[in-house]
Amino acid sequence: MGNKKIVLFYVLILMGIPFIYAAYLYPNLPAVIPTHFNIKGEADGFGGKDSIYLGPIIFGIASLFTYFLLANIKNFDPKRTQQLDDGLFQKFGFLTVLFLSVLSLVLLYATTHQGIPIEKLLFPMLGLAFAAMGIYMPKIKQNYFAGFKLPWTLDNEDNWNATHRIAGKAWLYGGIFQFIAGIAFSSVTSFVIFFIDMIIMVLVPTIYSYRMFKNGNKVSP
């Protein structure tokens, strides 16, 4: 994905945008603002106006930690091999920062625009994130940090590769379905679909991996 220093520069910019937006909102905020929303998109937690920075701080720390971990995965992974693609994991890290920054902006916007159907933004966003992960998942090489780290995938490289091909399809189609469901259905229904979708996206590759292991790690035709 290019020079690490250049990518890190863009990562820091993405992390800084929510702070800039929060600073822009701060002067006109009331003394008490929403800090948490339920599954219906309704505010059910409140705090002082200074808490406007809480979200950007939490998401910023999570973004920076995830990016550095993925961008330097070869330095931490016990399965460090030359086949691990630094660029791929750097992309994962960058996309994670992008997602968390956009999520932070959405929550900041909802804080000052009460009544906006925030779930109509969050669930489709999650769907797009799942679909994006599905596209990249078949490219992930065997490691201890990212992917389906099951006993059978970590023990056998063929099992790992086959499982992640199946997982890629499951997450791509599951993400697209979640995106459509988030737009088409109510917040409660979208929430239920989200969890059912997640269970399916996890179970399908897991069951496939176990069955392949029981079959002597032979790839099904």
What is the phi/psi pair of residue 145, to 5°? -115, -35
The whole-number pLDDT of residue 206 equals 93
More confident residue, 57 or 217: 57
CA–CA separation, 106 vs 21, rounded Å?
11
Q: Using an 8 Å Cβ cutoff, are 120 and 183 in contact? A: yes
Going by C-alpha positions, the residue among 57, 64, 41, 69 that lies closest to residue 104 is 57
Per the confidence metrics, is the pTM higher than 0.75?
Answer: no
Structure tokens at 154: 């970590």
- For tokens 């790690």, the residue is 217
What average pLDDT score do residues 118-135 get? 86
Quick one: CA torsion of 215, 207, 173, 105, rounded to 10 degrees?
-130
**Residues 164-210 pLDDT 10s:** 999 999 999 999 999 999 888 887 888 888 889 999 999 999 999 99
* Terminal CA-CA length for the chain: 34
Q: Read off the pLDDT band of 79 (50, 70, 90).
A: low
Angle between helices 54-71 and 86-112 (to 10 degrees): 170
Residue 193 CA from chain centroid, whole number:
17
